[in-house]
Chain A
Amino acid sequence: MNDAFGRPQSVVVLGGTSEIAGALVDLLVADRCRTLVLAGRDREALTAAAARARSGGAQRVETVVFDAADVAAAAAAVAESFAAAAEGVDLVVVALGLLSESPADASEPSRVVELITANFTWPAAAIGAAAERLRVQGGGRVVVLSSVAAVRARPANFIYGSAKAGLDRFALGLSEALRGSGVLVQVVRPGFVRTKMTRGLRPAPFAVGPEAVAAAVLRGLQRNEPVIWVPPVLRWSFVVLRLLPGPIWRRLAPK
């Protein structure tokens, strides 16, 4: 069960091999989480993440492999993850994503489809399926890793940003639709996060590590915040940044 501070005992992570997911799992298993299901694309990386969770205090860790290119299989991956958790799920973390820093990707349809699928359609299908299961069990939470790029994308990452914008809007809309059901969908909008996905890129202002994102998620769970900005200062920064005229934004946003 989730406790008064939104601390879960049983967690499913879709995209369980991401660095942000790893940092979050570290905090969750050090706290109340005892049952953990890690679902992801890479079996070996999942095994390593599972071992890390066990040594961190999880009593039962299961892994589920899925293919993020196969949207039709998203619901099955969710079903398998819930079955592996066995005793009800308190929190579903949706952390999968695929970054593109090359505007030229837009000219290649298969690459566009790949990016939009991994960042939007697959996660959206999975969130919908997971939220329905939580509704039937009487409550629970979904935390969706979005991005500030969903609010305003840099010229270099607009494909990623457009997919995250879709996912972000989907998650917030679903949360609204589920009001009164006991299911809460929360969106996390980190700024630049230093991970293997962003290695080699020039960090944007207010860059943070995955641990800072994880800590912010725990705070957001405690406070039931619908949108969790990391770091929090970005909430107010983006009030301005989203309205900046193009020429100024182009100068500010790192290529």
Chain B
Amino acid sequence: MAQLLRGWGRTAPSFGRLVRPEDAQALTELLATRPSDGPQGGQPAGGLIARGLGRSYGDAAQSGGGIVVDTAGFDSIGPVDPETGIVEVGSGVSLDELIARSLPLGWFVSVSPGTRWVTVGGAIAADVHGKNHHRDGGFCSHVTSLTLATPTGTRVVGPDTDAELFWATAGGMGLTGVITGATLRLTGVETSWMVVDTERFAVLDDLMAVMDASDASYRYSVAWVDFSPGHRGFGRAVLTRGDHATAGALGPARRERAVEVPHAPRLRVPVLAPRWLVNPATVRAFNEVIFRRSPRRRPGALQPLASFFHPLDVVADWNLLYGAPGFVQYQFVVGAAQAEAVHRTAAMLQAARVSCSLAVLKRFGPGDPGPLSFPMEGWTLALDFPAGQERLPALLDQLDQLVASVGGRVYLAKDARLSPELLAVMYPAVGKLADVRRRVDPDGLLGSDLTRRLGLSGAPRE
């Protein structure tokens, strides 16, 4: 079925053939079909790319004129090993489904991004991170093996078997093949509750000093920062840090419901909002509410797992609030010694008077060996912007320059506008990916709108 596909930010749609193979055999046949030259001869057909739940913000899971493989058919969840927490799952399984299955057995995903509505395949292809990256690394650090269907055959790889292909796939944005399944190591938990310390800060400096000093003593840590434009509170922040609650930490009332599976969203945005809805005034009001409802300082509060990890999952389709122009998220990471880059970013945001609807700051631990894997030790800042703002494209280009100049990089799962020139600067090991692709995709069949935009797809060059 051909259809218009877009990312979560709804910015650059393209029309591709969406195919849902029901089994490995059907996928193998799909990978064996070569794109024709098209009816007009010489018109290049787009590449083949996997798509899970479409939560990449930009153009990573779409391919104009190409084939988009919906992985929903790979939906099996194996038994969880009660000793080790090892589980085999299909790539189309969402973290929501996996958590619903494993949590009652006392296991939680070792890395959870800000939403449960991503698939295991997507989480590997983007090497997603969570609030515990400084402690536990990225999603792929907890993958013991994965099954990858490539144009030159299906392989099972892991950190110990064909590590080169495994790590090229971790964060590889689908350029090495279609992941059909993976073996994951889950984390043991006693309850579905979190013990959370919350602290408010009036200025960014104080926040970063505290994160620097004591993040290491928390398993999970993340800070919301108010970068909404034009008011005195610019740069204020709320830091939330915590860990899984043990059974003993729950009072008698809560012990009754020590393990509760997160429920589906009860609210839904029914239609595309008008384009004026997200404006500087509503952005400011939204951030004001976040700040006001956070306690000045509250240690040891119990919080359900879902509201700690996935606060935005409360509302389904919240991306529709941004209306027709959509939104972009800009997430970058800079080294631990480059905290100054975070301050300069704040200054540039303020000077440009661009509306930033949501800002999140956190610390990363050391990255993993994936040539396109995003995390590296240091500070990561994620910024959401309504896309229609006139000064935004130039501002983000300037931020690219800043980030690249201090050896940082932007996150491709969020990206919708980086230039190919800077990609090579930000990901200097990208040549290793080309080496692997010469082996698994010598004809350059794989690719998405994102990889075409960034000059990553096509037949791998020497």
Measuring CB to CB, which residues of chain A are less than 8 angstroms from any residue of chain B?
Answer: 1-7, 9, 31-32, 79, 82-83, 86-88, 133, 135-140, 180-182, 219, 222-224
* Complex partner residue of B59 from A1, A6, A87, A223, CB under 8 angstroms: A1
**Cα distance, A86 to B43, chains bound together (Å):** 7
B38's contact among A1, A136, A182, by CB below 8 Å, is which? A136
With both chains docked as a complex, state the minimum distance between the C-beta of A104 and any C-beta of chain B, in angstroms.
44
* A4 and B15 contacting across the interface, CB-CB below 8 Å: no
Residue of A82, A83, A182, A224 touching B14 (CB-CB under 8 A): A182
Q: Are A5 and B392 also in contact (CB < 8 A) when A138-B64, A139-B14, A224-B325 are? A: yes
Q: Mark B51-70, 1 if CB is under 8 A from A, else 0.
A: 00000001100011110000
Contacts of B15 in A (CB 8 A): 135, 138-139, 181-182
Known pairs A1-B452, A3-B453, A4-B9; A181 contacts B42 (CB<8 A): no
A3, B396: Cα distance in complex, Å = 13
CB pair A133–B46 under 8 Å, yes or no, is: no
In the complex with contacts A5-B387, A79-B40, A137-B46, A224-B324 CB distance below 8 A: yes
Residue of B nearest to A83 (CB): B42
Is B417's CB within 8 Å of the partner chain A? yes
Q: Give A135 to B15 CA distance when docked, in angstroms.
A: 8
A-B contacts, 21 of them at CB < 8 A, read A1-B12, A1-B449, A3-B12, A3-B59, A3-B416, A4-B11, A4-B59, A4-B387, A4-B417, A5-B387, A5-B417, A7-B417, A31-B393, A88-B452, A137-B43, A138-B46, A138-B66, A139-B64, A181-B15, A222-B388, A223-B325
- A136 and B42 CA atoms in complex are apart in Å by 12
How far is A88 from B393 in the complex, measured between Cα atoms in Å?
Answer: 23
- How far apart are B153's CB and chain A's nearest CB, in angstroms? 28
Determine which residue in B44, B65, B452 has the highest number of CB atoms from chain A within 10 A of its CB, and name it: B65
Q: For residue B46, which residues in chain A have a CB less than 8 angstroms away from its CB?
A: 137-138
Check if B419 is an interface residue, CB within 8 A of chain A: yes
Q: Which of A4, A9, A82, A136 contacts B65 (CB 8 A)?
A: A136
Question: Which residues of the partner chain B approach A138 to less than 8 Å between Cβ atoms?
Answer: 14-16, 46, 63-66
Residue in contact with A180 in the complex, picked from B4, B44, B325, B387, CB distance below 8 Å: B4
Question: Hey, which chain B residues are within 8 Å of A83, CB to CB?
Answer: 42
Give per-residue flags for B139-169: 1 if the beta carbon is below 8 A from chain A beta carbons, else 0: 0000000000000000000000000000000
Interface of chain A, main secondary structure: loop
Which of chain A's residues have a CB closer than 8 A to the CB of B13? 139, 182
| B177: Cβ under 8 A from any A Cβ | no
A160 to B44, CA, bound (A): 38
The reply to whether A182 and B64 contact each other, CB–CB distance below 8 Å, is yes
Interfacial chain B residues near A87, Cβ < 8 Å: 44
**Within the assembled complex, what's the spacing in Å between the Cα atoms of A31 and B299?**
49
Instruction: Kindly name the residue among A86, A136, A137, A224 whose own CB sees the greatest number of chain B CB atoms within 10 A.
Output: A137
Nearest CB of A to B329, in Å: 10
Asked if B393 and A133 sit within 8 Å, CB to CB, the answer is no
> CA–CA, A9 to B423, complex, Å?
15
| Complex-state Cα separation, A219 to B325, whole angstroms | 12
B40 touches A133 (CB 8 A): yes
In the complex, what residues of B have CB within 8 A of residue A137's CB?
Answer: 38, 43-44, 46, 64-65
State whether B43 touches A136 (Cβ < 8 A): yes
**CB-nearest residue of chain A to B397:** A31
Contact B417 A1 (CB under 8 A): no
Query: Across chains A and B, which 9 residue pairs bring their CB atoms closest together, nearest first?
Result: A138-B64, A138-B65, A4-B416, A4-B11, A182-B15, A1-B453, A139-B14, A3-B417, A138-B15
**Best-buried of A1, A7, A31, A79 by chain B (most CB within 10 Å):** A1
Chain B residues 18-69 with CB under 8 Å of chain A are 38-40, 42-44, 46, 58-59, 63-66
Question: Is B242 at the interface (CB under 8 A from chain A)?
Answer: no
> In the bound complex, what is the Cα–Cα distance between A87 and B45 (angstroms)?
9
Distance in angstroms between the alpha carbons of A224 and B323 in the assembled complex: 12
- Chain A proximity of B42: nearest CB distance (Å): 6
B326, CB-defined interface residue at 8 Å: yes
Chain A residues with CB under 8 A of B450: 1
The answer to whether the Cβ of B390 comes within 8 Å of any Cβ in the partner chain is: yes
CB distance from A92 to the nearest CB of B (A): 14
**Who on chain B is nearest to A32 by CB?**
B419
CA distance A34 to B294 in the complex (A): 48
Instruction: Considering the complex, give the chain A residue whose CB is closest to the CB of B328.
Output: A4
* Complex alpha-carbon distance, A1 and B419, angstroms: 11
Chain B residues 401-432 with CB under 8 Å of chain A are 416-417, 419
Give min CB distance, A184 to chain B, whole Å: 9
Cα A3 to Cα B64 with chains together (Å) = 13
Contact in complex: B390, A222 (CB < 8 Å): yes
Taking CB atoms, residues of chain A closer than 8 Å to B416 are: 3-4
- Bound CA–CA A245/B44 (angstroms): 53
Let me know if B326 and A4 touch, CB within 8 A: yes
CB distance from A211 to the nearest CB of B (A): 16
Most buried by A among B43, B392, B449: B43
A138-B16, A222-B393 given as contacts; is B40 within 8 A of A4 (CB)? Answer: no
Taking CB as reference atom, which chain A residue is nearest B390? A219
Known: A5-B387, A139-B14, A182-B15. A133 touches B43 (CB 8 A): yes
Whether B63 contacts A136 by the Cβ 8 Å rule is: no
Answer whether A2 and B43 are a contact pair too, CB < 8 Å, given A136-B38, A138-B64, A219-B390: no
Chain A residues closer than 8 Å to B453, beta-carbon distance: 1, 3, 9
A9 to B453, CA, bound (A): 8
B:108-122 near A, CB below 8 Å: none
Contact yes or no, A4 B390, CB < 8 A? no
What is the minimal beta-carbon distance from A95 to any residue of chain B, in angstroms? 22
- Measured CB to CB, the closest approach of chain A to B72, in angstroms, equals 21
Residues of chain A within 8 A (CB-CB) of B392 are: 5
A5-B417, A9-B453 known; A136 vs B39 contact (CB < 8 Å): yes
The minimal Cβ–Cβ distance linking B219 to chain A, given in whole angstroms, is 34
Are B388 and A223 in touch, CB under 8 angstroms?
yes
Contact A182 B4 (CB under 8 A): yes
- Collect the chain B residues with CB atoms within 8 Å of residue A219's CB: 390
A7 to B453, CA, bound (A): 11
Assess the A136–B59 pair: CB atoms within 8 A: no
List residues of chain A with CB within 8 A of the CB of B39: 136
